[in-house]
Amino acid sequence: MTLLTEAGHIGDTWVDDVIPAMEFSFEFTPRVFRQWKPNPKGGDVYNIPRTGNLAANTKAASTAWTPEALIDSTQQLVIDKHDVAGFQLEDIAALLSNTDLKSAYQKRIGYALGRNPEVNLAAMPQSFSQIVGTLGVELTYENLLRAWQYLADGGNTMEDTTWLLSPAAIAGLLKQDIVINAMYRGDGKRAVETASVGTLLNAPVIRTNLTRAPSANQSESAIFKRNAIALIQPLEPKIVQEYIVKELSWVIGGHQVYGYVEVDRYAEAPSNVTPGDDWAVLLRTIA
């Protein structure tokens, strides 16, 4: 008797488990501005007025001074994203399957809905007006210093600011002595052991696998303050389900509604009413 002759007696074994698809962590979504709350009465366009700095002038004796009237503009955020994900499961498939398909794929709905806004937000740096680096080329420390200077020139501190870089961009930094040498790090840790940059120029360096890739080996990473991008979500992810009698199956779906925008503000100069994005920088690098 051999495996060949007794093949009909040897059964297959199905493990009571599944191998889920890889899921990337979401890094953009939790780092944007979300304090503008949805209007419970509805509306798809949110208008946020801007205010500028007044100019102080010398007053001449016995002469009336002229009050200043700035012509302010408005930031608009449009709620125009309605995402949906789901599946239909026939009773017979659920009955005969070794896997709890309904439960397994319901979890996939959550990831699908979380991924969409993350990818949309990761595409926003392409519209930033302040740019450093070259697509397909590793970032240099000079690139990072220039990005820091862009923020500093606008009066920004590094508080609530994040570097979001592709894995390849971080790998490029881990080749640089200023990043891996403990003398520069000041915390006694070795980057070659932790495989992380930690904090750079007083802002955390976070790896994200969902940066926009204009082409092969290219990444549009970013550094930005939280207030540079705003997100409003009138409908958080919601699961709905329906049983269709004629098809003897369950339809299970999830959906969400949201909108986002790059936030522009007036620069510090008195009487300035030209909005700009001085709190965000596009980092062109490798993917």
Residue of 146, 148, 170 lying closest to 27 (CA atoms): 170
In this prediction, residue 196 carries a pLDDT of 73
Q: What is the pTM of this model?
A: 0.90
In this prediction, residue 192 carries a pLDDT of 61
CA 221 – CA 131 distance, rounded (Å): 10
CA 120 – CA 61 distance, rounded (Å): 57
Tell how strand 275-276 and strand 280-285 pair up: unpaired
CA 152 – CA 159 distance, rounded (Å): 12
In this prediction, residue 198 carries a pLDDT of 85
- Which DSSP category does 212 fall into? B
In this prediction, residue 14 carries a pLDDT of 87
In this prediction, residue 194 carries a pLDDT of 66
Q: Mind listing the pLDDT tens digit for each residue in 157-172?
A: 999 999 999 999 999 9
CATH 1.10.10.10, applies to 77-264+275-285: no
In this prediction, residue 182 carries a pLDDT of 64
In this prediction, residue 28 carries a pLDDT of 97
Where the chain has pLDDT below 50, the residues are none
In this prediction, residue 7 carries a pLDDT of 92
In this prediction, residue 16 carries a pLDDT of 85
